[in-house]
Amino acid sequence: MKAALKKVFKHWELFLVVFLALEFVVFGTANPKFLRPQSIMNSIVNYVSVCIISLFVTLVMITGGIDIQAPSIIGLTSIIIGVLWSDMGMNVWLAVAIATAAAALCGALSGFFIAYCGVQPMVVTLGGSFLYSGLALVVSSMSATPAYQGISGFPAKSDAGAYVDFRFLGKGNILGVPTQIVIYVALIVLCVWLLHRTKYGERLYLAGVNQQAAEYSGINTRAVIMSTYILSAVSAALAGTLLTANVNSAKYNLGSGYTLAIITAVVLGGTLNTGGKGSILGTVLASLIICILRYGLPLCFGVSTQNLDLPVGIILVLVVLGREIAGQHMLARVFKRRKAST
């Protein structure tokens, strides 16, 4: 069993491609409506925020860290945009820029505590998720609109009926392809180049494999690690902006349920939670697998949307357990204990 698992994990990205293809076969057979291109495209658009953040959380986890505060930054970004535009009369694009800068500062703060103060990433980002969610609620109290309603009415359509201005980010199309998907593809290319074609990417892997050795080789690993949390926060700001433009509502709790999906996408994609290994392609494939799973189960098998976190959680546990068995010889240790007890 251990040898079989090792083979699977050795060709993990190929396994993900096969798994994704099987999803299309199973769901398409169960319900032919699943295969409608427009429906699949819409499902990806609805999930693209998770896909975008997963790309940059991959960078964080390659260094041996973890980021569970990104969903709270989505809400913070969204409500800052809404309050600045609606209640303070600011240009929407300037509001987006200020919200993105605020998100970057949030990432820098968490990254500083992790990289320069040596605090555990889980502790810092868990605290950050509560802190930034609280800040988002405080900002929402500055608006004349009740927090539960959300701020809506962003610049939308032209006289011709096409989405323009801010709403174009969430609802527009470029050559027939939704704007959000175009942005996502561009970010995939950027992350692949950054991780696999630059010295910065090499430093990320080295920091994850052995931070002390990387320091001895002249790499400022603390600055590298801190930068990954800034990039992750900026990606969350972008996701929050796109989500706000898509649903036409700025809310303090937007994206609050994304944590499990983001971490699962990164881990399922082959990134080690201990650092030193990971790929953008794996994360992209894993994100699509989860996206299609969440789209296909309700449509084809009537699974309630409230229960969709269950299969995602099961996938996360199975992947981590499989890695432990394949890489850490868990079965051998179990059998040794049994023999010793007998």
Look at residue 143 and tell me whether its pLDDT is greater than 70.
yes
Q: What is the mean pLDDT of residues 12-34?
A: 91
- Write down the pLDDT at residue 200: 94
Which region, left, alpha or beta, applies to residue 162 given φ > 0 means left and ψ of -120 to 50 means alpha?
beta
CA–CA dist 212, 206 (Å, integer): 9
- Write down the pLDDT at residue 123: 96
The single-letter DSSP state of residue 174 is E
Look at residue 155 and tell me whether its pLDDT is greater than 80.
no
- Start-to-end CA span in the chain (Å): 23
- Give per-residue pLDDT as tens, 35-44: 998 889 989 9
- Write down the pLDDT at residue 243: 94
Look at residue 120 and tell me whether its pLDDT is greater than 50.
yes
- Give per-residue pLDDT as tens, 164-211: 788 888 888 888 889 999 999 999 999 999 998 999 999 999 999 998
- Which of 235, 295, 293, 296 lies closest to 264 in space, CA to CA? 293
CA–CA dist 318, 327 (Å, integer): 14
Residue 84 contacts residue 90 (beta carbons within 8 Å)? yes
> Is this model's pTM higher than 0.85 or not?
yes
Q: What is the mean pLDDT of residues 7-12?
A: 60
CA–CA dist 66, 275 (Å, integer): 9
* Highest-confidence segment of 51-55, 294-298, 315-319: 51-55
Give me the DSSP letters along 176-225: TEEHHHHHHHHHHHHHHHHHHSSHHHHHHHHHHH-HHHHHHTT--HHHHH
